[in-house]
Amino acid sequence: MTKLLAFAGSLRDGSWNHKLIELAAAGARAAGAQVTVVRLRDFPMPIYNADDEAVHGLPEHALRLKRLLWEHQGLLIACPEYNSSLPAVLKNAIDWVSRPGGWEASGRTGKEPRLSAFADKVAGIMSTSPGVLGGLRGLAHLRSILTNMTVLVLPEQIAVPRADQAFTPEGALADASMAAVVERIGATLAKTVERLKG
């Protein structure tokens, strides 16, 4: 079965971007994928420091997240926009997980490929923000980073504006057309990964 890992670049309770992820995950599951939804706050990591890495290797939670990426073929990522870019917690997680380590300990043989956690991955990305652009500028940076790390990023994306007004009390998007796009991104990711596997 196609396995997708889904998370938002946000730590807070009630995260609007986590609500987006849940909607996209539902679309992916409806298309036949198995989706693991996680929260980055459950993987606390220090700010990346090459000196720390040289002495201690990858932190425990970076290794945990990296193992999850190894086990899944696709990624669903919802990215808040902080000061016209992506949040530090998301960039820091990407930086740590991109580093080598944990390959042989996980039972794999041979030399660890460069960017092993991201190799051959497909991603669907989305965002929501209280602003009128919905986090669009942060998505542009996330797309650039993932593409440079050999991730195939789906062309379709969505940036939902007015996040503070966009959701119902139950966590759904009030705009049915936007909700359909979010679910379609999840479904498209599931179908794309399945086709590439074949």
The answer regarding whether domain 3-197 maps to CATH 3.40.50.720 reads no
pTM: 0.96
Q: What is the pLDDT of residues 152-162, one digit of tens each?
A: 999 999 999 99
pLDDT grade for 177, boundaries at 50, 70 and 90: very high
Neighbours of 60 (CB within 10 A): 12
The residue ranges of every structural domain in the chain are: 3-197
96's enclosing H/E stretch is helix 88-97
Percent of the chain with pLDDT over 70: 100
CA distance 47 to 75: 23
Looking at the predicted structure, is the pLDDT value of residue 198 above 80? no
Report the pLDDT value the prediction gives residue 105, as an integer from 0 to 100. 86
Q: What share of the chain is helix, strand, coil (3-state, %, to 5)?
A: 45, 15, 40
Over the Cα atoms of the chain, what is R_g? 16
